Structure 1
Amino acid sequence: MSRIQPADSRRIGRRQFLGLGAASLGAALLGGCDRLSEAPSFQDLLGSAEGLTYRMQRLLGGGRTLAREFSAADLSPDFKVNGTHAPDTPAYAALRETGFADWRLRVDGLVVRPLDLSLADLVAMPQRTQITRHDCVEGWSAIGKWQGVPLADVLTRATLLPAARFAVFHCADMYEHAADGTGQYYESIDLIDAFHPQTILAHRFNDEALSVGHGAPLRLRVERQLGYKQAKYVMRIEMTDRLDRFGRGKGGFWPDRGYEWYAGI
């Protein structure tokens, strides 16, 4: 079974203090403990520990605390492609063949002005570049350089309705092994992280256009959370007041399968 092995020992203590024991239990699910993940008592345990993690992190870190940023000299020589290497759908293949010229990011839900943005539209907006460390729940870390549009700028352009509380990211990749029919990858974050200055919609990685393996044409970077929150192949952002009507109702593909919805580090 996989278990969490953060590279920074100082961060281990902080995360343990924040109740990361639940994340360790969630990591065990990757190793095949699916039967355990379905047990109501286990889900209650995860939920209670996750709630403590979320409340403590918000109390200690507030909404504007920055993740550490690095220099170009710190870039990792190899940044692992994890999860889906390329969505295996005809729709994505067609977009890829045209260099994503026909791709559009849809922003809708609880907004005043729904948006359909091309990659050129996003590139024309103010950009942010950041060099940060990606920490995977499987135990590996890597430092990479990301460039993209602050999510806050996109949501401001759409203008949120007062009821909006969460941003849900619908992605192009599908997990066909999900027998319950909830195999489309999705993820979500709250408005605190959505408007954080380091939360960006990245289209470049290490000074090159984002590769397919790393999530082309667009991926989420929410730097204060673990790697599985960094949704790749983003196609649509839906603003909503609740998460229980998506997938299995836990707010993301992996949270639906036992992981913490809030994966703060």
Structure 2
Amino acid sequence: MNTSIGRRGFIAGVSALLVSACSKVAETDAAKSLFSAAPEWQRKIHRSLASRMALAKEYPRSAISPDFRGNGSRTVDTDAYRSALAAGFPDWKLEVTGMVSTPLSLGLDDIRKLPQRTQITRHDCVEGWSAIGEWTGPQLSAILDAAGVKDSARFVVFRCADTYAGRKYYESVDMVDARHPQTIVAHSLNGEPLPEKNGAPLRMRIERQLGYKHAKYLTGIEVVDTLENIGEGKGGYWEDRSGYQWYAGM
């Protein structure tokens, strides 16, 4: 067995078990204590097994899945989004805010003018399916560098246009994953503009994390020193609502 594939599969399986357990476990004090500690344990074991900058496996074009399924939100159910989609998103902006010296407001043309990375990787969903796709976009680290992240910043929060149960979707990662070379703001899938069902016009690709971390319909990047005041303080929509683990590394 290829060592990197085996390690990725093992940690993905552990992640799925933790998510499943968290969504079903009784709300006892002992259970809350156990699962609140789990993300930090998982992060430590994952990073002990591989270099912080180790790359997720990349594939040849022949391995690309014939259809990269949409999951979770498959659109943004607003008139404004439908109009923007029909027009090709000429006015879509990605706002970079928070603990930065130079806040940014980037249109799609700005995103495309940045140095680009193309990577063919496997998307692993916590629900048990996977697909391989070719993603293109600038590295998040390049955008963070342009904004000038302050030294005390610890996390990057991704703001999205889609909603669940009346709440805007969001996710977050720490600075290690934010600056990983395969963490990109993707605007293209398989050489074409990102499809609606896959998060058009922008989505995150965080290749060493499970799929729910890859925020779609991206509108904002906020740099913060704590997650305590974001949502319910657990670092993401599903983490707040369903007990998913904040750290979903593979």
| TM-score under structure 2 length normalisation | 0.92
What's 1:24 paired with?
A: 17
Q: 2:151 is matched with which residue: 148, 162, 187?
A: 162
Q: 1:53 is matched with which residue: 35, 42, 66?
A: 42
Residues 183-198 of structure 1 aligned to structure 2 (within 5 Å): 183-198=167-182
Residues 232-251 of structure 1 aligned to structure 2 (within 5 Å): 232-251=216-235
**Matches of 1:98 and 1:117, distance apart in 2:** 18
Q: Give the unaligned 5+ runs of structure 1.
A: 1-7
Letter in 2 for 1:24: L
What's 2:246 paired with?
A: 261
Tell me by how many angstroms 1:57 deviates: 1.3
Residues 1-265 of structure 1 aligned to structure 2 (within 5 Å): 10-11=6-7, 14-15=10-11, 20=14, 23-27=16-20, 33=24, 36=25, 38-176=27-165, 183-256=167-240, 257-265=242-250
SS in 1 for 2:47: helix
**Matches of 1:128 and 1:37, distance apart in 2:** 44
| TM-score under structure 1 length normalisation | 0.87
* 1:43-67 Cα deviation digits (max 9, x unpaired): 3222222221111112222321000
**Matches of 2:85 and 2:124, distance apart in 1:** 28
Task: Check conservation: 1:131, 1:144, Cα contact below 8 A.
Answer: yes
Task: Check conservation: 1:37, 1:258, Cα contact below 8 A.
Answer: no
Q: Give the unaligned 5+ runs of structure 2.
A: none
Task: Check conservation: 1:122, 1:149, Cα contact below 8 A.
Answer: yes
Letter in 2 for 1:238: E
**Matches of 2:89 and 2:22, distance apart in 1:** 35
**Matches of 2:78 and 2:30, distance apart in 1:** 37
Letter in 2 for 1:159: G
**Matches of 2:20 and 2:197, distance apart in 1:** 22
Task: Check conservation: 2:11, 2:46, Cα contact below 8 A.
Answer: no
Query: For this pair of structures, how many residues does the alignment match?
Result: 246
Task: Check conservation: 1:70, 1:131, Cα contact below 8 A.
Answer: yes
**Matches of 2:9 and 2:85, distance apart in 1:** 43
Letter in 1 for 2:128: G
* 1:149-173 Cα deviation digits (max 9, x unpaired): 1000000000001121110000000
* 1:73-116 Cα deviation digits (max 9, x unpaired): 11111211100010112332332232110111000100000000
**Matches of 1:234 and 1:13, distance apart in 2:** 28
**Matches of 1:43 and 1:97, distance apart in 2:** 45
Task: Check conservation: 1:165, 1:241, Cα contact below 8 A.
Answer: yes
**Matches of 1:155 and 1:10, distance apart in 2:** 32
Letter in 1 for 2:249: G
Q: Percent identity?
A: 49
